[in-house]
Structure formats: structure tokens, C-alpha cells
Amino acid sequence: MWQTGCLLLISLCIAGSFGAVRISPSMGTVTVAEGKSLQLNCTGEPNSVLTWKFGNTVLGTGGDLEIRGGVVAPNVDNVSILTHNNVGTDRSGEYRCIDNKTAAEATVIVRILKVATTDALFKYQEGATIACSADPDDAGDKVTYTWMKNGTNVSDIPTPSGQKFVEHENGTLEFKPVTTTREDAGVYECKMTVGTSEFSSTATLYAKPFVIPFDKSKNLVQEERLDVRCKVLGYPTPTITWFKDDVEIQADDEGSRYKLAEDNGHPNAQLKIDSVDFDDAGNYKCVASAEHIMFDEPDMSMPVPANASETILVRVKDKLAALWPFLGIVAEVVILCTIIFIYEKKRNKDAANEDAVNQDGATPEKSKEGVRHRGNTNNPRA
Ligand SMILES: *[C@@H]1O[C@H](CO)[C@@H](O)[C@H](O)[C@H]1NC(C)=O
Ligand SMILES: *[C@@H]1O[C@H](CO)[C@@H](O)[C@H](O)[C@H]1NC(C)=O
Ligand SMILES: *[C@@H]1O[C@H](CO)[C@@H](O)[C@H](O)[C@H]1NC(C)=O
Ligand SMILES: *[C@@H]1O[C@H](CO)[C@@H](O)[C@H](O)[C@H]1NC(C)=O
Ligand SMILES: *[C@@H]1O[C@H](CO)[C@@H](O)[C@H](O)[C@H]1NC(C)=O
Ligand SMILES: *[C@@H]1O[C@H](CO)[C@@H](O)[C@H](O)[C@H]1NC(C)=O
Ligand SMILES: *[C@@H]1O[C@H](CO)[C@@H](O)[C@H](O)[C@H]1NC(C)=O
């Protein structure tokens, strides 16, 4: 996929920097990639009125062009700042800054250099190549390329398990299979140098959304906290949505018990419920989606939906659940004790009855005795 990100190359020639007008940057040639931002500062005398001209056109703020200070009176730092965002190739040419009071002027020459950039899509264990290519015919000189990611030279990015990047002279950055991971996806800046001027453009290694697998299920006890974190990878950074049993969770709703928080720099990556109840049991799904990008593969002509998800089954147990076995044992002990107690009591009662029988109603024995006594002539009661 060749994206014609062109490149605006501006050469500043301080042709007429007599008087007190100066334009910075003040190097002979300044290069800015098309689509990037051009900034020129013109410093003049205090309270002089500075006018910018592009060819014969007097420039003023409008569209992507902004001129700050200097038009009426450059009494803020004596400077007029011209900023042109998203510069097109038609903006190449001569820029002049004129001091109306002294007629002093400084001149800038703009040249256009086309740059093509190639983006790529990360595929697991496959290599990828992104590229920048400035048109050498327009540059006049040989262009040299170096690549940066987030301000770091790629040759300084550590790769623990072997070489990851190969920077080719023609402006391609090759990602080696195996050592390249989804985390390497992102925007890469290619810095180009031609002659004395440096300019830059960007190429992107895209990666489809991916959710790092998490536990398939989780058991919670009533009133415990639910805390699930969804770690997502991909570029552009996927947005995260949560579903409970396929119904989207709206944490912002009034009275919602769900709390969504940022985790690891990803908004909504953390789902919390402070105190779960039986109703909270269910399937929780984290969906990572790259909403605004269609990933086309294999030849970038067929749009492919780009969502990834992980689901966790949450079970909620009765908070007394853990107590039941204990209560069971207690109940058993109580019943056992009661039985023993009743039994013992009954036994004691029987024994007592027997004693009582032996004492007051001891007729049988007494009668026996009596009989015996009666049979005994010596019995005084007889
Ligand atoms: C122009 O001035 C602004 C504000 O002082 C400064 O941030 C910027 O670096 C200057 N740019 C150049 C090219 O000198
Ligand atoms: C503006 O120019 C005057 C005169 O050259 C100088 O004294 C003053 O410091 C300048 N102001 C700034 C902010 O550079
Ligand atoms: C400054 O000079 C330019 C070009 O000659 C002119 O168009 C502009 O009106 C002048 N501005 C002031 C404030 O004199
Ligand atoms: C980019 O670099 C800045 C400053 O060095 C750092 O704070 C930030 O975390 C980096 N971002 C990424 C995505 O690595
Ligand atoms: C990046 O590193 C390479 C190799 O060390 C070096 O040649 C190049 O100048 C560096 N580029 C930048 C922009 O620092
Ligand atoms: C750039 O150079 C590399 C290595 O020599 C080569 O494999 C690749 O095809 C080249 N790319 C272009 C766009 O010329
Ligand atoms: C991807 O997720 C978005 C947002 O949740 C949804 O609108 C879209 O239908 C999903 N696409 C697919 C293919 O699942």
C-alpha cells in the first residue's frame, strides 16, 4: 500500500537579510514534508510592521495558515510567526518578510520534494516493511534516512531476543519476523536528510486489536469486589467496551453499580463492582475494537472487521456458603450432645427410679426379708 504522503521541501535563502529583518530557521535549505507543518519566524525592529509575502501575494491568517504577531505591530517579542499546517506542494516558492518601516526584507525559497510512505499491517510471526521515499530528482542530492519511534532512534531500541529492525539505505524499515511483536506497532518517524536540511515524515505499522487472554472464570462471594482488567494491544489503540451477558455495560448511567476505569493508559480497561450480588453472576466480555480503521488484507482491498474479545464467567456464592460446613458440624455436635445428654439423663433417671424402688417400695426384698424374718423365730417384729 503506497500512500502518497508528499513532502514539502522549503529552502530558506536569506537573500536579503539587510536591515534588521531576519527569518529563522536561518540555514540555507530547510525541508518540511508535505502534510507536515512549516514554521517561519521573522524578527524585525520593535514596533515595526512585518508583512509576509508568498510570491506577490500578501499572506494572512486563514485555513491552515496562521500568522501571529507582526501584522499590526510586532511588539510581542518583535517577531511574526508564520505557521502553515498540512502544507501542500503548491506552497513551494519564495516567501518574503518585509518591514514596512524600513523596507528591509528577508527571503525564503521553497522547493517541493515528493515523499511516498508505505504503511504495513503486523502479522504474528511474519515480517513487515514500512518505508519512506523522498524523490531524489527533486531533492537534488542523495537522501539519507533514519527511523525514530516516539523520539527514540530505532537503533537504540533494545531487542532482547535478537535483531528486530533493519534500516535499509533506500528508506525502508524492515521488521524481522519472530522478534517483532504487536507492541512494536505504532507510528514511526523517518528523518530524512538532504544536503544540510532535515525533514521528516511518518509511516505506520498497524496491528489489529488483541486482548491478552484472562481467566476463564472467577468465583466470588456475595459482597466481594469484582475487578477485571482487560489488557489490549493494537495500533491504533483499540477502544474498550464491556458486555454482561451480551448487553453493553453503561457505567455512566445514573445509579449504575459498574465502574469503568483506565488501566495501563487504556480508558475503560478496568471493570469494577464494589460489592457483588447474585444478579452480578454471568459472562463478562471485554471487546477491543478499532472503530475508525478497517484493516484490509491480504492485499489491502478487502475491509476486515477488527474486533477482539475475551470473556470471563463470574459466579457469585452465598456469603454464608463457607459457613455451612462449619454450621453442619456444629449442628451434628449439638444433636450428638443432646442425644448423649438425653440418654444420660434417662439412664440417671432409671438408676434413680431403681434406687427409689429399692428404698421405699422395697416390698419384694422386705417381704422376702419378712418372709425370711417371719420364718425366723428370732424376728423381733414377728
Ligand atoms: C519561532 O518562535 C516560536 C515562539 O517563540 C518558537 O517556539 C519556534 O521554535 C520558533 N521557530 C523557529 C523556526 O525559529
Ligand atoms: C525587541 O527589540 C528590541 C530592540 O532591538 C530589544 O531591546 C528587545 O529586547 C526585543 N524584545 C524581545 C522580546 O526580544
Ligand atoms: C505593509 O506593506 C504591505 C506591502 O507593501 C502593504 O500591503 C500593507 O498594507 C502595509 N501595512 C501597513 C500596516 O502599513
Ligand atoms: C513516549 O516517550 C515519552 C517520553 O520519553 C514517554 O513518556 C511515553 O511513555 C512514551 N510513549 C510510549 C507509547 O512509549
Ligand atoms: C540513529 O542511529 C544511527 C546509528 O547509530 C545514526 O547513524 C543516526 O544518525 C541516528 N539518527 C538520529 C536521527 O539520531
Ligand atoms: C530497499 O532495499 C531493500 C534491501 O536492499 C530491498 O529489499 C527493498 O526491496 C528496497 N525497497 C524499495 C522500495 O526499493
Ligand atoms: C466491533 O465492535 C463495535 C463496537 O463495539 C461494534 O459496533 C461492531 O459491530 C463490532 N464488529 C464486529 C465485527 O464484531
Q: Which atom, in ligand 6's list, is nearest to the CA of 171? A: 1
Q: Are 70 and 59 in contact (CB under 8 A)?
A: no
Q: Are 62 and 84 in contact (CB under 8 A)?
A: no
120-121 and 197-211: which strand pairing? parallel
Cα dihedral sign for 347, 351, 352, 356?
positive
Q: Are 194 and 236 in contact (CB under 8 A)?
A: no
Q: Are 116 and 3 in contact (CB under 8 A)?
A: yes
What amino acid is encoded at 104 in this protein?
A: A
Cβ neighbours of residue 326 under 8 Å, at least 6 residues apart? none
User: Which residue, by CA, sits nearest to atom 9 of ligand 2?
Assistant: 77
Round to whole Å and give the CA distance between 112 and 184.
Answer: 32
Copy the grid coordinates of residue 4.
502518497
**What is the chain's mean pLDDT, rounded?**
80
Which has more pLDDT, 293 or 43? 43
Q: Which residue has the cell 522549503?
A: 10
pLDDT over 90 at 187, yes or no: yes
Which has more pLDDT, 245 or 78? 245
Helix (H, G, I), strand (E, B) or coil at 136: helix
Task: Tell me how far the alpha carbon of residue 147 lies from the centroid of ligand 5, in angstroms.
Answer: 8
Q: Who lines ligand 1 at CB under 6 A?
A: 24-25, 39, 41, 81
What amino acid is encoded at 228 in this protein?
A: V
Candidate of 146, 156, 166, 168 to mutate for ligand 5, largest count of ligand atoms within 8 Å of Cβ: 146
Q: Is the CB of 71 under 6 A from ligand 3?
A: no
Q: Classify residue 349 by burial, with Cβ atoms within 10 Å: 0-12, 13-18, 19+.
A: exposed
Round to whole Å and give the CA distance between 41 and 44.
Answer: 10
User: Which residue, by CA, sits nearest to atom 11 of ligand 1?
Assistant: 41
- This prediction's pTM: 0.66
Work out the end-to-end distance of the chain between its first and last CA atoms, rounded to an integer number of angstroms.
136
User: Which residue, by CA, sits nearest to atom 5 of ligand 5?
Assistant: 155
User: Which residue, by CA, sits nearest to atom 4 of ligand 5?
Assistant: 155
Task: Tell me how far the alpha carbon of residue 316 lies from the centroid of ligand 3, in angstroms.
Answer: 77
Q: Is the CB of 150 under 6 A from ligand 4?
A: yes
Q: Which of 11-15, 326-330, 378-382 has the highest mean pLDDT?
A: 326-330
Candidate of 167, 170, 174, 175 to mutate for ligand 6, largest count of ligand atoms within 8 Å of Cβ: 170
- Give exposure, 60-83, as e/b (b: 16+ Cβ within 10 Å): eeeeebebebbbeebeeebbbbbb
Task: Give 156's DSSP letter.
Answer: G
Confidence grade of residue 355 (pLDDT, cut at 50, 70, 90): low
Per-residue pLDDT of 213-271, as tens digits, reads 999 999 999 999 999 999 999 888 899 999 999 999 988 777 788 999 999 889 999 99
Round to whole Å and give the CA distance between 148 and 132.
Answer: 12
Q: Is the CB of 41 under 6 A from ligand 2?
A: no
Round to whole Å and give the CA distance between 129 and 170.
Answer: 12
| Average pLDDT value for residue range 337-343 | 85
Candidate of 166, 172, 175 to mutate for ligand 6, largest count of ligand atoms within 8 Å of Cβ: 172
CA torsion, ordered 78, 84, 90, 96, to nearest 10 deg: 0
Round to whole Å and give the CA distance between 102 and 48.
Answer: 8
Task: Tell me how far the alpha carbon of residue 52 lies from the centroid of ligand 2, in angstroms.
Answer: 20
Task: Tell me how far the alpha carbon of residue 237 lies from the centroid of ligand 5, in angstroms.
Answer: 28
**CA proximity to 322, closest of 215, 218, 219:** 219
Compute how many other C-beta atoms are within 10 angstroms of the C-beta atom of residue 29. 21
Q: Any idea which ligand is nearest the CA of 174?
A: 6
CA torsion, ordered 321, 324, 325, 329, to nearest 10 deg: 170
Q: Are 56 and 44 in contact (CB under 8 A)?
A: no
Q: Is the CB of 265 under 6 A from ligand 4?
A: no
